[in-house]
Amino acid sequence: MNEYWKEFQKKNNYYKNNQLPQSFFFCANKKDADECAELVVKKIKQATSPSVWWFKKNNESFPKVGELAIVTNWDGEPKAIIRTVKIEIAKFKDITKEYAYIEGEGDKSLEYWKKVHWAYYENEMKEFNELPSEDMEIVCEYFETIW
């Protein structure tokens, strides 16, 4: 990861003094994580939607505009560097078709977004015997692929 970051810094002098940012993969399985990483590389996936519930359960702070992150595949190999450009909080039921399209997964429809994200939230909440709801809040993080 360090080599990937140093290479980026060499070619992007603006970031030469930045610390190594967090790295992560999307989704909860290899197939989806690898597909999402490729969508980020191709600049098709430009948003992600963790739940407010997750941030609270994990005592994590929300992403901030301007923050960088390294997107990896399931195996932890760096694939892209993204910069957060906008954060919105929306209820699950209020996610729009425009947002679903920007997130870029599947057929980019709202129906697809709702189906796969509901399943994802259900899966992450089940160990706590909790369930998602239409009123649960989602962190809509918009980003751009910069490397």
Residues ≥6 apart with Cβ < 8 Å to 70:
1, 4, 5, 21, 22, 23, 24, 78, 80, 81
Domain CATH code at residue 107? 3.10.400.10
Specify the amino acid at residue 27.
Answer: C
* Domains in the chain, number: 1
pLDDT greater than 90 at residue 4:
yes
pLDDT greater than 90 at residue 28:
no
| Host domain of residue 11 | 2-145
Question: Mean pLDDT, to the nearest integer, of 13-25?
Answer: 94
pLDDT tens, residue by residue, 47-66:
999 999 999 999 999 999 99
Question: Mean pLDDT, to the nearest integer, of 97-125?
Answer: 97
CB of 110 within 8 A of CB of 67?
A: no
Average pLDDT of the chain is: 96
Question: Mean pLDDT, to the nearest integer, of 110-128?
Answer: 96
Q: How many residues does the chain have?
A: 147
Residues ≥6 apart with Cβ < 8 Å to 17:
none
pTM over 0.75: yes
